[in-house]
Structure 1
Amino acid sequence: MPLITLEEAKQQCRVDGDHEDALMQTMVTAATAYVTQACNRTDLEGNAMAKSAALLVVADLYANREAQNDGPLSQNRTLDTLINMARDYKGYVQ
């Protein structure tokens, strides 16, 4: 099950209407897969940190959906922190 809904993703990216629903749903699926794999957990439903991380991933994917970027790419430290806090370290779950 996705960590976030299509409506939450659209709200995060400030997308009105349904003209981008297919794209946004693909991003929701990708963000859920990314966070689940990065955290090494499948039991993230209801985890606020994982949900926030998924929303950040969707926002980043949406903002950078063009093939090229005008500026330098940088690591998202907030995303890293949320992932680390939600991660399963060899069976230890917070």
Structure 2
Amino acid sequence: MLGNPLFESILWGHEYDLSRLNTDLLQRIESGQFKRLVFYGMGCSSVVSDIVKGFFLNEKIPLHVQVINDYDLDWFVDRNVMKDPTTLANIVCYSG
């Protein structure tokens, strides 16, 4: 679900792929195991996360996407959610 269709729908998507991911993680993504995506990043680092969240909402993709714009993850996301094997956490950091 998160593979080629997502990347092909975004401008320059052909420049990105999942082939360099850990094999186990890639299989879990392709199997549809994840029901929730949590993006963690501050400032400009969260821009792409907001775009992905909007894309998923617009396309009615049945994944809950949460974007955290703070240094304190525990305040915004329950620890049990982060331990849930159906949650994929993404830490995004662009520094310029």
Q: TM-score, normalised by structure 2?
A: 0.29
More strand by share: 2
More helix by share: 1
Q: TM-score, normalised by structure 1?
A: 0.29
